Amino acid sequence: MRADEERQRLHTTILQLRAETASLTAQLKEMAKVNELQAADLARLKKVIDGQRQPNQPERINEDSLQLAFESVVKGLESRPLAEAAELAKAAADAQPAATPPPKGPRKGNRRELWKAGLPVIEERIVPDEVQACGGAGWRELEPEVTERVAFRRSRFEVIRTTRTRWVRVSEDEGATKGQIVAAPVPDWALPSMMADASLIAEVVMNKYGFALPLHRQERMSGLRGFSLARSTQYDWCEYGALKLAPIVSAMHAESISDSFMIATDATSAPVRVSGGTINWHVFVFISDVGHIFFRAVRRHDGASIGALLQGFRGHLLSDASSIYNGLHLVGNLELACWAHVRRYFWKATLTESTLAYEALSIISTLFKVVAESNRISKLSERDAFRVKHATPIVDTFDAWMKQARTRG
């Protein structure tokens, strides 16, 4: 009897455990489904934030939303200086003439005045057949009807033939020998063993790097212009131009390091073709206040690379918040933060924390308007004084807003 009771008890316990297991399994499946849906939502949100759905998406914010958020900030912080700065920015914006976009097409009463463009004018005169037939006899000319249109003459290649004259001495004079042959010197612009003029090399380089026209496209375009240029030839010209201009770029680099008060920099990766594929290099752009803009490419995006590029510089460094610049700040360079990078993260936060994000964006927008107004001042000292006077209260308000925002849910 006891054995039967024990078996019955164990059987009951097993049935209960099986029921609990089935219930937990069902709950686990439901939780897995919820987790999968949440993961999908997070993935979609990440795509929106990273801009993968719309590459190069403009970081624009509705002006009405910014205005409402700005009023909330002013009221919440009771910031009189911020309100005054906003009024200044608004007055500056109102003072600027409204931009009138050019017409999309030739519409009656809205044609551009082409005579103001300063373009060469080719006169074209059309005489009626009836008048031409009799040479104008019996006709009196009235005020003509004049229309204008913009034409494009296809750019063309041309050959520059340079003749260096050679001379032979045919008489004996003091200090000269009969039979002596002389020739005009080779000009400084002459490129040895190269059929291209410097102007053509500049055209190829500018098209490739200034207008993003690859050499294979320029090869096709040159054929349409009547003189085909192989891409391999154009590549050689680009290499030649780079070698010739390298000392100038190096001099710009050296002068920027020694004389600049401030240097702004940023980097982007660029694939470089190698045998069997590509490798990534990193291209840094440097903008210095001595008037130079130059580029430098390095293999690695790290502190050692940027440290070598800016070795010897002591001044103000404007960059993003990447850790690769920490070493430069430790040796005495003053770090300048970038407001565009600050703004970007608040713009991304509009999807999750819209109230706080819009308030931050409204303050930054007001700061940008003051800066835009200051750029209209040509004298540097007056421009700096204007920025100090009108931008300082906005930055101070931004600091106060951040302290307040930390305490809000």
Task: Say what the pTM is.
Answer: 0.62
Model confidence pLDDT, tens digit, residues 203-226: 999 999 899 999 999 999 999 888
Q: In what order do the strands lie in the sheet with 334-336?
A: 293-298, 277-288, 262-274, 316-318, 334-336
Which two tokens mark 355?
């109230």
d(Cα 223, Cα 218) in Å, to the nearest integer? 9
Q: What is the pLDDT of residue 106?
A: 42
Pick from 189-203, 246-260, 360-374: least confident: 189-203
Which two tokens mark 386?
């204007």
Higher pLDDT, 245 or 106: 245
Task: Report which DSSP code applies to 323.
Answer: G
In a domain, 139, yes or no: no
In a domain, 33, yes or no: no
Q: What is the pLDDT of residue 105?
A: 42
In the predicted model, is pLDDT for residue 249 greater than 80? Answer: yes
Model confidence pLDDT, tens digit, residues 289-312: 999 999 999 999 999 999 999 999
In a domain, 348, yes or no: yes
In a domain, 201, yes or no: yes
Q: What percent of the chain has pLDDT over 90?
A: 31
In a domain, 134, yes or no: no
- Pair 329, 272 in one domain: yes
- Pair 250, 309 in one domain: no
Model confidence pLDDT, tens digit, residues 25-72: 888 888 888 888 888 777 777 776 665 445 556 777 777 777 778 777
According to DSSP, the residues that pair with 297 across neighbouring strands are: 283
In the predicted model, is pLDDT for residue 111 greater than 60? Answer: no
In a domain, 297, yes or no: yes
3-state secondary structure of 87: helix
Under 8 Å between Cβ of 175 and 211: no
Which of 259, 278, 298 marks a domain boundary? 259
Q: What is the pLDDT of residue 84?
A: 65
In a domain, 367, yes or no: yes
Model confidence pLDDT, tens digit, residues 317-366: 999 888 999 999 999 899 998 888 889 889 888 888 888 899 999 999 99
Q: What is the CATH number of the domain that holds 328?
A: 3.30.720
**Which range is most confident: 43-57, 135-149, 248-262?**
248-262
- Pair 315, 368 in one domain: no
**Stretch 77-92: mean pLDDT:** 62
In a domain, 379, yes or no: yes
Which of 206, 232, 259 marks a domain boundary? 259
181-183 vs 262-274, strand pairing mode: unpaired
- Pair 283, 303 in one domain: yes
- Pair 356, 389 in one domain: yes
Q: What is the pLDDT of residue 236?
A: 93
Task: Name, in order, each residue with C-beta under 8 angstroms of 294's C-beta and a sequence gap of 6 or more.
Answer: 249, 252, 253, 256, 285, 286
Pick from 102-111, 119-128, 357-366: least confident: 102-111
Which two tokens mark 377?
């001042």
3-state secondary structure of 214: coil
Q: What is the pLDDT of residue 340?
A: 87
